[in-house]
Chains A and B, each alone.
Chain A
């Protein structure tokens, strides 16, 4: 029994690493993509929006394969590790989704907020950081929470490029006629998402003191 459980924990550790690294990098990268997609310089804006459209319009599974194989087959420099390929694919994919959430949040702030700051002699960056940003954060916390919960489950997809994440580990035991390890992977996800829901709910409540 112990070897089964420890194998599941080993697998889930990969899910968690992928989750944490993806969040840590996709959250800032998404902001960079947002600025690109809102750029005044038209060619840049359309280039970035087309890129986001492609990423959001194709399966993450396909993107995983492309990141794993394209460098080697097209440029002769194979991906060193499968985990790196998975992280790159996840970061790019989630950054594209986050960027759209950020953009929606920024565009939903009324023009009057910028104008009120401007007529009070605030600089553009003061208006953004002192007035706009927290309102945007408040608006994007609920949709971001949804994406983050989805990400925990999406990490299981990494198995298609050979990452031995938890479900892949559990599936091996079915060959020995055991189904319970497979069922119990669900508990790992439920527990993890339970904690996550509490943390995200806490953040949401912290911003309850004002209304936008």
Chain B
């Protein structure tokens, strides 16, 4: 059974249908990269999965449980959404760290708040908090930031901030971790450290959906690549096909333009 099944998702803003009839599935431990030119709907798709946008049509199924069904109004209640979106983690292009919290506090904040809803929280408060903090430290260590626990975001480089953001998302143990162009806001010399962290996650079988413009990276880490254009999936398959030897005319043209512009 796939960990994620997306069926016929569409989203319109006003009169324009930004994504149309998107269907795909993801196996546990799989890394899927989404490529496509700007404006093709990649961000909107990730935002639909994270309930930052409500799709107009379609269903989203995680581990066999339908967590969103556009035809069912109950899918849209705030309480329900809050639990269901925890299946997904999101790493934004612009990090969106909380500036008033240290790296460690950024990673623990949501977990500590969620823990208060646990029935055993009162009885085991200190134990639970310590668990969350230790877990956060371990994750920050795994992204190479054990020496920056007490640094505030403005004291960190862009690459370090994005690694904190990845740690923050990982701390809630999402089933599927989404990245929206995680290196696009970074200076070129800082992209490497972030890509390295994502590559390590892929090796550890983290289920991920990565929107990226880094073709050679996508080719290396992905199990599958999705090429989107104008709101639809044009081509889907293993990276050797979609990036290495595309079948669709539109994919070919996109990649030609990409490599002509001096990328490698």
Contact code string B168-182 (vs A, CB < 8 Å = 1, else 0): 110010000000000
Assuming the contacts A118-B52, A210-B152, asked whether A123 and B89 have C-beta atoms less than 8 A apart, the reply is no
Assuming the contacts A135-B99, A135-B100, A209-B152, asked whether A118 and B110 have C-beta atoms less than 8 A apart, the reply is no
Q: Does A187 contact B (CB under 8 A)?
A: no
Assuming the contacts A131-B98, A211-B99, asked whether A119 and B88 have C-beta atoms less than 8 A apart, the reply is yes
Q: Does A112 contact B (CB under 8 A)?
A: yes
Q: Tell me the dominant secondary structure on chain A's binding face.
A: helix
Cβ contacts under 8 Å, A210 to chain B? 99-100, 152-154
Q: Among the listed stretches B79-87, B194-202, B227-235, which one makes contact with chain A, having 4 or more residues with CB under 8 Å of it? A: B79-87
Q: Which residue of B lies closest to A137 (CB)?
A: B100
Assuming the contacts A121-B172, A123-B82, A130-B109, asked whether A115 and B100 have C-beta atoms less than 8 A apart, the reply is no
Q: Does B1 contact A (CB under 8 A)?
A: no
Q: Does A74 contact B (CB under 8 A)?
A: no
Q: Does B216 contact A (CB under 8 A)?
A: no
Contact code string B94-124 (vs A, CB < 8 Å = 1, else 0): 1011111000000001100110000000000
Assuming the contacts A118-B52, A209-B152, asked whether A134 and B86 have C-beta atoms less than 8 A apart, the reply is no
Assuming the contacts A115-B96, A130-B113, asked whether A120 and B52 have C-beta atoms less than 8 A apart, the reply is no
Assuming the contacts A121-B86, A123-B82, A134-B100, asked whether A115 and B113 have C-beta atoms less than 8 A apart, the reply is no
Cβ contacts under 8 Å, B83 to chain A? 121
Cβ contacts under 8 Å, B44 to chain A? none
Could you say which interface size class chain A belongs to? 20 to 34
A134 to B89, CA, bound (A): 25
Q: Does A84 contact B (CB under 8 A)?
A: no
Q: Give the shortest distance, in Å, between B101 (CB) and chain A (any CB).
A: 8
A130 to B110, CA, bound (A): 10
Q: Does B136 contact A (CB under 8 A)?
A: no
Beta-carbon contact of A113 and B109 below 8 Å: no
Beta-carbon contact of A120 and B168 below 8 Å: yes
Q: Give the shortest distance, in Å, between A84 (CB) and chain B (any CB).
A: 40
Beta-carbon contact of A122 and B110 below 8 Å: yes
Q: Give the shortest distance, in Å, between A121 (CB) and chain B (any CB).
A: 5
Q: Does B236 contact A (CB under 8 A)?
A: no
- Residue count of chain B within 8 Å CB distance of chain A: 28
A209 to B82, CA, bound (A): 31
Assuming the contacts A121-B82, A121-B86, A121-B172, asked whether A116 and B96 have C-beta atoms less than 8 A apart, the reply is yes
Q: Does A212 contact B (CB under 8 A)?
A: yes
Q: Give the shortest distance, in Å, between B4 (CB) and chain A (any CB).
A: 16
Beta-carbon contact of A115 and B52 below 8 Å: yes
Assuming the contacts A120-B110, A121-B172, A122-B110, asked whether A212 and B99 have C-beta atoms less than 8 A apart, the reply is yes
Given contacts A112-B92, A113-B98, 7 further A-B contacts (CB under 8 A): A110-B94, A115-B52, A115-B96, A119-B169, A120-B109, A121-B85, A121-B172
Q: Which residues of B contact A (CB under 8 A)?
A: 50-52, 78, 82-83, 85-86, 88-90, 92, 94, 96-100, 109-110, 113-114, 152-154, 168-169, 172
- A-B CB contact pairs (8 Å), 29 listed: A110-B96, A112-B92, A112-B94, A113-B98, A115-B52, A115-B90, A115-B92, A116-B90, A116-B96, A116-B98, A117-B98, A118-B51, A119-B88, A119-B89, A119-B90, A120-B109, A120-B110, A121-B86, A121-B110, A121-B113, A123-B82, A124-B78, A134-B100, A135-B100, A210-B154, A211-B99, A211-B153, A212-B99, A212-B100
